Amino acid sequence: MAAEQHRKQRIDRGIKVRSDGIYALMSGRELAYLVLPRSTLIVGLLLLPLLLPDLYWQRVITITCLYALLAISFDFLAHHVGLVSLGGAFYVGVGGYLAALGNTALGLPVWATIPLATAGGGIVCTLLLLPCLPLRGVYFAIVTLMYPLFMARLIEAFDIVGGTDGIIGIDGFPNHWVEQYVLITMVLLLLFGLRRLAATDFGLVLRGIKDNDQAVRASGIQVIRYKAAAVFIAAAMGCLAGACLVHIYMWSGISQFALDFSILPIAATVIGGAGTLVGAVLGCLILVPLSELLRDFGSLRIVFYALLLVAFIIFRSEGIFNYARRKYEQFERWIPI
């Protein structure tokens, strides 16, 4: 007789089932089950600057938040709308240059340049990407990969907005507490805002576009308009990150179109858990400090993330967050067949 075979059975935990329905939210335990994971993230992020008073680590926190914004934007566009944008650096560059120009040429203060660069950059990026929006899959990825490289070339070739030297003499934030809390608040607001958005009808249409855009079009919905709106949201987030970056470093240059801003958020999203938005933030919280620790290795660290990324895509394509969520919500057992 053949050896007894087993299969893994996964069943939702009772507490999950009970707390799914609003009527069951009566016991403190069920409330805690729902609230604890979310509040851990929120409180943890808010406390982070207080726990790490070292100036160096405070800079790392701000950079992590910048990358988190980019990662959320990538995750939203790729896994909720189905547009894979390999050009996160493009948004960073556009937002950064707009903020820098607003600050140096027009003399606007920091609190005015950041919102302006965010909204204006979002509009500029959306307009520039508008011709490519009917494309899908590979085509869109290719075009977005080229935009940042192309912009860098253009700035070099025409020697506009500072050329290869960049723009210097940009105002910084009043102090690093403001800097950190502005970014942390933005990350949290946008994270939970987008999660909420994904649950609305608007988010439903976007997911429909991702799964089957022909069907969405057949339902009489203008696909392009929805895609443009989604690209605007994602681009504005990237521009926000770029504008903050420029004010943090008080300098704006071609390096903002560099590949780092495109690849790291993608790696963070895949490692953290694609499609969950929170996973993107988690991935950044892991990868960015790690890359700071590996700074001595120079370009070897890019090799390191790239390989980590490939390994995750092949062996753990669900990502850390989805894995953790499964463990949290379900129990597993082996049962004989």
- Binding residues for other proteins, rule: CB under 8 A, are 78-79, 84, 86, 131-132, 134-139, 141-143, 145-146, 149-150, 153-154, 156-158, 213-214, 217, 223-224, 259, 263, 266-267, 270, 274, 297-300, 302-303, 305-307, 309-310, 313-314, 317
- Residue closer to other proteins by CB (options 150, 249) is 150
258 Cβ contact partners less than 8 Å away, ≥ 6 residues apart: 89, 148
In whole angstroms, give the CA distance from residue 69 to residue 149: 21
Least distance between other proteins and beta carbon 323 (Å): 17
Least distance between other proteins and beta carbon 290 (Å): 16
Alpha-carbon separation of residue 185 from 100, 174, 236, 243, 269 (angstroms): 22, 17, 16, 15, 20
Least distance between other proteins and beta carbon 71 (Å): 13
Are the C-beta atoms of 268 and 287 separated by less than 8 Å?
A: yes
Least distance between other proteins and beta carbon 278 (Å): 19
- Residue closer to other proteins by CB (options 36, 311) is 311
- Residue closer to other proteins by CB (options 153, 196) is 153
Backbone φ and ψ of 316, nearest 5°: -135, 65
Least distance between other proteins and beta carbon 43 (Å): 32
DSSP structural state of residue 3: P
- Residue closer to other proteins by CB (options 138, 337) is 138
Q: Which amino acid is at 62?
A: T
- Residue closer to other proteins by CB (options 17, 311) is 311
Handedness of CA 25, 27, 28, 34 (dihedral sign): negative
In whole angstroms, give the CA distance from residue 35 to residue 66: 26
